[in-house]
Amino acid sequence: MTVKPNLIGGEWREGSSAIESINPSDTRESIGHYALADAAQMREAVVAARAAQPAWSATTTQVRSDLLLKTSIELAVRKEEIGELVSREAGKTRAEGIGEVLRASQIFQFFAGEAVRYGGENLPSVRPNINVQISRDPVGVVALITPWNFPIAIAAWKLAPALAFGNTAVLKPSEETPGVAWELFRVLERNGLPAGVANLVNGRGADAGEALVEGVDALSFTGSVRTGRGLAQSAIANMVRVQLEMGGKNPLVVLDDADLGVAVESALNGSFFSAGQRCTASSRLIVTAAIHDRFVDALRKRMRSLKIGHALTAGTDIGPLINQRQLDTVQGYLQTGRDEGAELVEGGQLLQAGTPGFFMQPALMTETSNSMRINREEVFGPFATVIRAADYDEALALADDTEYGLSAGICTTSHKYASHFRQHVKSGLAMINLPTAGLDYHVPFGGTKASSYGQREQGTYAVDFYTNSKTAYVGY
């Protein structure tokens, strides 16, 4: 059995144990065995990143840009092959897998540009004979902890800005997707990654908790609220800058005047694609009275046309859930919904798709109220609820009545309501006549309330987290 090692200080290192990665579309298929770093090895990775940081931040921005651009190009050239690995390991359809690799490539390309573009400001002082110069220094060593649902894109949107702005990094990917992270590091290494500048430690979350918070200067985390809260406490105790991107309970409002086709396609895509395993998935469909029944009927019809199955089978619209635990969780919420008085009007059955995998028919529950647990807690699966609202004002109030605030959408042909919603909804992303999921890479990403903490990720805003500003006063 070959165990694929971790990359620490430029050396591929065995771990203290290993983990096997399994294809969720066909549990008979092994993706590979991967070395698991224990807490001690994670600390070694932090030490290696610390040692490499002065030289990396002293390189020209051209050197940093070249590494990111070459990485981007290799990812683009190999998008089908690496995309297939994403599909095999994370259960995304082939189109989603390739799309995600292409997205990672675009992110590396964008930050290859940012590496040479970012700058500072020159201002006159308010005092005579002084100039004020504001520049940006790297933060230092950053720990990056990522989830399984976008195994290459999220790693890219943390690693690329970290490296572009002169930091060194330690990445701990999810235990569910070590293979994709391993492949990304092979690409980085082939394209000139200097020893220690980016380190890969596949490992268990519990081992990463303290090891990756002590000794780093900043921590960027994407994952569940529970894990994020715990990490934030240790980060703050260690005076480590922290950025958290977490869960959602994203609403999609459908008003009486909506284009029914747009509303149904937005709900279908936002709620069920990627098996609903997106932090921006729409889980609460808030629908006003006059369109309610027509919308539910049309959505149910479209749900029945979806093809669920092995992620790599041609024509599959929706692949499996990531693992048995996640499948059980979603099934558990269906029961919770029934117990709370909701009606399961479509889907929800476990599926035999020809291969042993974690398949489930997307589920829709109606007659739900916003106080039910199914409308308060993140489910993270192909499961949406419908909540009736009397009018726009009630719909907006329901949309905001949640502890989360990542993405919120509205389907309406009214300029007045679209504009009011965009301005007033309390979320980081507002989607008008579009699914709540589906983002660009060159603009900021993040939420409000329990969904996010700290500075925004992505786009030109990423520089704020990955640098410290320095204000110099120059007398003349």
> Which residue in 158, 152, 138 sits closest to 245, CA to CA?
158
**Where are the extended beta strands (E) located within 317-463?**
343-346, 363-368, 383-389, 404-405, 407-411, 429-432, 448-449, 452-453
Please name every residue paired with 19 in a beta bridge, in sequence order, or none if there are none: 34
CA distance linking residue 397 with residue 137, whole number of Å:
43
Helix (H, G, I), strand (E, B) or coil at 187: helix
Q: Is residue 406 near ligand NAD by the rule CB under 6 A?
A: yes
Choose the stretch contacting ligand NAD; rule: CB under 6 A; options: 73-81, 105-113, 148-156, 335-343: 148-156
Q: Is residue 279 near ligand NAD by the rule CB under 6 A?
A: yes
> Which residue in 474, 446, 462, 472 sits closest to 118, CA to CA?
462
Q: Which of 115, 142, 153, 231 binds ligand NAD (CB under 6 A)?
A: 231
CA distance linking residue 431 with residue 79, whole number of Å:
28
Judged by CB, which is closer to ligand NAD: 82, or 213? 213
Structure tokens that stand for 388 in this block: 């009736």
Known catalytic membership, residue 81? no
Helix (H, G, I), strand (E, B) or coil at 96: helix
Which residues, 6+ apart, have CB-to-CB distance to 397 below 8 Å?
none
**Where are the extended beta strands (E) located within 399-465?**
404-405, 407-411, 429-432, 448-449, 452-453
CA distance linking residue 360 with residue 346, whole number of Å:
12
CB of 382 to ligand NAD, least distance (A): 14
> Taking CB under 6 A as the rule, which mask of x and - marks residues 174-213 in contact with ligand NAD?
xx-----------------------------xx-xx----
> Which residue in 74, 214, 216 sits closest to 156, CA to CA?
74
CB of 234 to ligand NAD, least distance (A): 8
Q: Which of 70, 172, 241, 284 binds ligand NAD (CB under 6 A)?
A: 172
Judged by CB, which is closer to ligand NAD: 146, or 271? 146
CB of 214 to ligand NAD, least distance (A): 12
Judged by CB, which is closer to ligand NAD: 150, or 441? 150
Torsion of CA 197, 198, 199, 204, to 10 degrees: 140
Identify residues 32-71 at the interface with ligand NAD (CB under 6 A): none
Choose the stretch contacting ligand NAD; rule: CB under 6 A; options: 38-46, 146-154, 260-268, 467-475: 146-154
Helix (H) or strand (E) holding 38: none
Q: Catalytic residue among 114, 245, 265, 378, which?
A: 245
In our burial notation (b when 16+ CB lie closer than 10 A, e otherwise), range 420-443 reads bbeeebbbbbbbebbbbbebebee
- Residue sitting closest to ligand NAD (CB): 205
Q: Which of 118, 295, 380, 383 binds ligand NAD (CB under 6 A)?
A: 380
CB of 147 to ligand NAD, least distance (A): 3
57 alpha-carbon distance from chain centroid: 27
- Dihedral angle sign, alpha carbons of residues 283, 286, 291, 296: positive
Choose the stretch contacting ligand NAD; rule: CB under 6 A; options: 68-76, 239-247, 254-262, 334-342: 239-247
Judged by CB, which is closer to ligand NAD: 136, or 172? 172
Size of the site for ligand NAD (CB under 6 A): 29
Q: Which of 222, 250, 274, 412 binds ligand NAD (CB under 6 A)?
A: 222
CB of 436 to ligand NAD, least distance (A): 12
Judged by CB, which is closer to ligand NAD: 115, or 231? 231
Q: Is residue 96 near ligand NAD by the rule CB under 6 A?
A: no
Q: Is residue 92 near ligand NAD by the rule CB under 6 A?
A: no
CA distance linking residue 447 with residue 95, whole number of Å:
27
9-12's contacts with Cβ under 8 Å and 24+ in sequence apart are: 9/44, 9/45, 9/47, 9/48, 9/51, 9/52, 9/195, 9/196, 9/199, 10/48, 10/194, 10/195, 10/196, 11/195
CB of 225 to ligand NAD, least distance (A): 7
Choose the stretch contacting ligand NAD; rule: CB under 6 A; options: 17-25, 119-127, 189-197, 225-233: 225-233
Give phi and psi for 5, each to the nearest 5. Answer: -85, 175
Q: Which of 32, 223, 362, 381 binds ligand NAD (CB under 6 A)?
A: 223
Q: Which of 57, 224, 329, 460 binds ligand NAD (CB under 6 A)?
A: 224
Judged by CB, which is closer to ligand NAD: 255, or 437? 437
Residues contributing to the site for ligand NAD (CB under 6 A): 145-150, 172-175, 205-206, 208-209, 222-224, 227, 230-231, 245-248, 279, 378, 380, 406, 451
Catalytic sites, residue numbers: 245
